[in-house]
Structure 1
């Protein structure tokens, strides 16, 4: 039997391959969901440790991956760069992001807890109230929830941001500056707050008690949310279930987060004792408080332009 020469064989092979491609189904690649969370990311860190979201999304054809950040502003920079699709921050980071022109959307909210952030001074400091911060160096992550606590507490004390010397540092660098005495005060959130409280004598000058306190928020890229509304609904449903479980199982949550974050369980337990969970939809009241927060930042000259929070509230595509 004689073989066909290669020049005549090649077209026949190509025809055969094209025919097979019609009849052999090609399995679609998994869709991707990339989740950003902060070190000490609370509920998201619990879900990451348990694998709950991976299982829920795998059933819907999604491959889920995680990326950790020190703070909310860095997380939203990654959202803007297209490195993640959804994330969780305090209320100020998305305001700064909106003011910078980042096209994010608000997806849901977590309850506000009064004592999970604080303005700290060393126990031996001569500063005994927020008014005593006048002219002092105060470490804070710019654009973070702690940034707003500082703004709100100063305003209540009759001061403005111009009356202090802000030192903009992420939490790890701020802790080093605080411990060395190169700053007079530090404004930070849990679990960094609980960690410093258990490692050296400190005093809390102020937390959110008596101040406007916005919710923490879940955000996403507008492009992803509009293209994957079912995925957003599933994410919020899983977060709500996880929050109800976490509120009823604080000791277990503390064990999970201690292993996940690498902090002593006693530190995490202090944080969890003053935290409550419960992912919710964005109500008019939540949106109104977020707008008030944005207006205060703008009035203080800390963002370059006014923002309209309602323009970034995600609406399920019809």
Structure 2
């Protein structure tokens, strides 16, 4: 059993959501959307904005600590859709996961960062030479690590990159088993506000800040109307969240079990906005895929244009 599969089993939790708007054929039961989530983000967003009122399908939520186990669940058909960063989406698609990217958002990349202990002597990316860095393989943390090393004239083999899930890497950083932790929000804000870590290198200038809502090919064939409605509700809820920062941050803290201070910090500095999947966005995604190819993490070039489904509209 893989580490990501163990995470899927350990962290999986289901929640049935609310009543009716999309109609189903007479005699059929209501559709069920199996929605994956990372650290409760989408669920908190929708519940805070009261965006699940009147839906015509049920939602079964499954929470994951990172993109890797979420991608594995998508590949297995255990979930229909879920949020995933650009780099792990590429990793999953290159591995043959049958998904399409149906919605895109962009955030300030600061919180996708390489962290060190507060008393660490490391000051810049160049100081990572010969040091150990913990992160998830194929994650946006892994991507930022490779970009940070390249910006400092270093190669991956100049460091010791250890692939660990977030909880294990956090512990390894605390006890000194690794020198640095490459991670993302809300883990960055949690580590900062608890005093356990500081940002050595932020993702600004290194990562695009792009993330997606991905859906399986099977779900797209059977539940397209449900997915379209779900995406519209997520986008509207995102707009609401930045108009009600305190309220949303409190709900986020409660649902994902972190401090209100960390919840608000990671939310406010993200400045997440959903945007159309256009040619410029696809080009940025292709650059990320080509960087992974150059880094040796992909065996052959991934043509990303075919991995998008552009027929989903955003609310006006």
**Would you say same fold, with TM above 0.5?**
yes
Question: What is the CA deviation profile of residues 71-103 of structure 1, one whole-angstrom value per residue up to 9, with x for unaligned ones?
Answer: 011101101101010100111111111111111
Answer yes or no: is the 8 Å Cα contact 1:295–1:306 preserved in 2: yes
Separation in 2, partners of 1:35, 1:237: 15
How many residues matched? 288
Q: What is the Cα-based RMSD across aligned positions, in Å?
A: 1.9
How many angstroms does 1:246 deviate by?
0.7
Secondary structure (helix, strand or coil) at the match of 1:273 reads helix
Separation in 2, partners of 1:255, 1:234: 26
Query: Which residue is equivalent to 2:29?
Result: 29
78-87 or 225-234, which deviates more: 225-234
Separation in 1, partners of 2:68, 2:38: 10
The yes-or-no answer on 1:42 pairing with 2:53 is: no
Query: Which residue is equivalent to 2:55?
Result: 57
How many angstroms does 1:314 deviate by?
1.2
Answer yes or no: is the 8 Å Cα contact 1:229–1:316 preserved in 2: no
Separation in 1, partners of 2:185, 2:148: 18
Give 4+ residue runs of structure 1 displaced > 4 Å after superposition.
Answer: 48-51
Q: How does 1:1-318 map to 2 (within 5 A)?
A: 27-39=27-39, 41-48=40-47, 52-53=51-52, 55-58=53-56, 62-200=57-195, 202-316=197-311
Gapped regions of structure 1 (runs ≥ 5)? 1-24
Answer yes or no: is the 8 Å Cα contact 2:44–2:248 preserved in 1: no
Answer yes or no: is the 8 Å Cα contact 1:43–1:242 preserved in 2: no
Separation in 2, partners of 1:123, 1:219: 36
How many angstroms does 1:197 deviate by?
0.9
Answer yes or no: is the 8 Å Cα contact 2:48–2:247 preserved in 1: no
Separation in 2, partners of 1:197, 1:91: 24
Answer yes or no: is the 8 Å Cα contact 1:86–1:218 preserved in 2: yes
Gapped regions of structure 2 (runs ≥ 5)? 1-24
